[in-house]
Structure 1
Amino acid sequence: MRRLRNVLTAAAGATALAATLLAGSASTATADGWPGAGATPASVRSAAYTQHWINLFEDEDGYRTPHPISQPINPSGGIYAGSNYVYCRVWGDEVSGSQGYNHWWLLTDLDWKYPNMPWQNQYISAYGLTGQGNDQANGIPNC
């Protein structure tokens, strides 16, 4: 009986410690929601979607909507070229350049942001995807 009580006491202590640590990591965010020092990957990840890994051949600006051209808005921030995760895709404004064109926009979390702008659940153009053709974002589910 004493051993069971010790196990239960230790479990209760671990639960309290975990709650304190989680509360502490949430309080490290800045006033506009950017994770501060000590933020964990779970605190900077959107829980509603599964991550799908992609490669970008160029940096991309991030926006709050997949229609930043037809409904002009300033970018929220950006994402760097290379390996990144996205959650899903939506059809939006066309982005074109020397590599072709693409109407798909990918929901993701940005690598950097402008002051007072959101960084989670932002859209980047699929134009920068490597190994894809015009109007392709293969392997990424629709939102």
Structure 2
Amino acid sequence: MAKTFLFELVSPEKILFSAEVESVILPGSEGYLTVMANHAPLITGIIPGIVRIAKSSDLNWAGEGNGAAFVVFDGFADITPQKCSLLATSIVPLEEFSPEDLERRIAQVQEAFNNAETDEQRNQLEDLLHQLTTVRGVYTAA
């Protein structure tokens, strides 16, 4: 039996997921990372991307298969050897994710980029635009 740890996925409104899991793949600010039981302590920023959760195969997850996936937008993860909490500004279950919503977000950021008044604003919006188009690529490959 693989070791498990507590994983919590939290939006500003509520806890969307809280369970013992075997592993979680997160879109960290330095790239995707896999979290497992006994992971070294770490706090990392979260960029827009897909969180993939592998649930323990010996637990009863009626009707849900052996995993779950969510699209997250911005936030951070607090990782300890026993627990991982991911707090994100926006979380959507992958099966409910709308490509049209993503395209709307990309259009909004593109418009803000075009109207940016400073180089700092343009740089931040360019980073966000890159992250969103990366989500588009990851989502279409999923």
Please give the range of the TM-score, normalised by the shorter of the 2 chains: under 0.3
TM-score of the aligned structures, taking structure 1 as reference length? 0.25
Higher-strand-fraction structure? 2
TM-score of the aligned structures, taking structure 2 as reference length? 0.25
